[in-house]
A and B are shown apart, each in its own frame.
Chain A
């Protein structure tokens, strides 16, 4: 039973939360809203997974780095963890990009000030 994949995902989630914590992006900005967004995102993507499994598109692999534990047919225990990571990564990227974009006008006005 391999735990490499599961550990990698948990490590990735940890890194996303560290970024979140450091820059006050998501959970550390509005915990309640972040919890709702995360829950909605994970459930939406999980439902998508289940639809794909039901249609016979997605097939679980026999990779040795996975635990092989299933929470539903063809749905390994790592999948919701992966989706959690994907949602966190998406939101950290978005909120981080917003932070950068929101700074641009400020910088421009600073430059104008210097030119004057």
Chain B
């Protein structure tokens, strides 16, 4: 009987909510059609529940304490299970009607265009070709430490794959609108111009898709995870948001950008409770230098549009030539640092070579020819996939040597 009382309590709440919302949300003459549609939907749900609840119980996905249920079954489904679709279909359409009542009063088309294109725009803005660059460090760091796939790994990987990038690039594109307008490079593989009417919704989308994940991951870890998640989220926001604009502060821009890629790895290590060893720190430092070099080199091609828009970066301040040389040196140091890590870490030193080879031809680039480095930048995006492949092989070797 316990399940019946539980179900009745939740149905009662749903009915009260559904009736009140339907009254407030319906226009004269609309209520009849609303309840008819609720009835039709419920009839369909009853059939679906009888079939699929039986299948799910038959597959032993879940079962019930026999002393708590009435024992009346449709197929294998206990009669009480039909309370779920009943409560849902009574309450939720009412909520829907109430929420959309204003839309119907105003012109239908105008309200619709308000958020139209937000999700496709947000996905395009989040640079799907680069999603893997933030998810991979997290997953690799955590999996290599725990050596098992648990829910924290799955949730964290998804977070750093999509929502994290939505926030990072979405916030960036909102506050970069001015410079993006003058930059023909945006709008394709490397980002999208974001219409001003989507700016506010984009920021909301970033918040809604990120905050729950941050809370869940924080809940799964201890103080080390809280700190690394806080640093990670702060770096995402501070990079481009008005007032902070770390991307316009030379050196700080490259440091913050690199944090975007290294912090997911640190979060993964913190959630997994990894031991801090000198070798691990050297690996993270080398990764960080790699990230700084990548950012600095990427900024070179934007020198002209950035200067026209009055936006500063490491490249606009120290100039194209010195920025390119700095990137080459940083990649070189990152490669050399890997030689100091325990075997098979030194193998990763070779990954620095293609980056240096890709960047070195621009050793004598000038500010006026800086835009030409875009060719190398496009190669860089694909080089990362090759590097990821090599890193994966090295990590598999590491796994087999340490297990």
Contacts and interface: CB of A to CB of B under 8 A. Distances in A.
Interface string B53-72: 00011011111110011000
A97 interface: yes
A10 interface: no
Contacts of A94: 37-38, 41, 89, 92-93, 96
Interface residues of B, number: 49
Interface stretch (B2-10, B129-137, B275-283, B330-338): B2-10
How big is the A interface, by class?
A: 35 or more
Interface in A82-116: 86-87, 89-91, 93-98, 100-102
A1 B148 CA distance: 12
A37 B61 CA distance: 27
Interface string B359-389: 0000000000000000000000000000000
A65 B59 contact: yes
Contacts, number: 141
A61 interface: yes
B95 A37 contact: yes
A29 B65 CA distance: 42
Contacts of A69: 150-151, 154
A30 B84 contact: no
Contacts of A44: 10, 14, 87, 91
B318 interface: no
B197 to A, nearest CB: 14
Given A90-B89, A97-B37, A59 B62 contact: yes
B44 interface: yes
A89 B48 CA distance: 10
The main secondary structure of chain A at its interface with chain B is helix
B45 interface: yes
A66 interface: yes
B58 to A, nearest CB: 9
A20 B393 CA distance: 42
A97 B151 contact: no
Interface string B94-129: 011001100100000001100100110000000000
A34 to B, nearest CB: 8
Nearest to B96: A37
Interface string A21-37: 00000100111111111
Contacts of B85: 86, 90
A86 B59 contact: no
A58 B64 CA distance: 5
Contacts of A97: 36-38, 40-41
Interface in A5-57: 5, 26, 29-37, 40-41, 44-45, 48, 51-52, 55-57
Contact of B88 (A58, A63, A90): A90
B59 A63 contact: yes
B62 A60 contact: yes
| Most chain B Cβ neighbours within 10 Å, of A1, A57, A102 | A57
Contact of B6 (A51, A60, A63): A51
B23 interface: no
B68 to A, nearest CB: 4
B92 A41 contact: yes
A65 B56 CA distance: 10
Contacts of B44: 93
Contact of B62 (A58, A86, A96): A58
Contacts of B89: 90, 93-94
A7 to B, nearest CB: 13
B92 A30 contact: no
A64 to B, nearest CB: 8
Given A44-B91, A60-B62, A93-B44, A33 B100 contact: yes
Given A30-B112, A48-B84, A56-B2, 18 more contacts: A31-B119, A32-B99, A35-B208, A37-B96, A41-B88, A45-B87, A70-B151, A77-B154, A86-B84, A86-B85, A89-B45, A91-B92, A93-B45, A94-B92, A94-B96, A95-B93, A101-B33, A101-B36
6 contacts: A5-B61, A33-B99, A65-B59, A77-B154, A90-B41, A90-B85
User: 9 closest pairs, A vs B, by CB?
Assistant: A93-B41, A33-B99, A97-B37, A63-B60, A61-B60, A97-B40, A94-B93, A94-B41, A98-B37
Interface of B: 2-3, 6, 10, 14, 33-34, 36-38, 40-41, 44-45, 48, 56-57, 59-65, 68-69, 84-85, 87-89, 91-93, 95-96, 99-100, 103, 111-112, 115, 118-119, 149-151, 154, 208
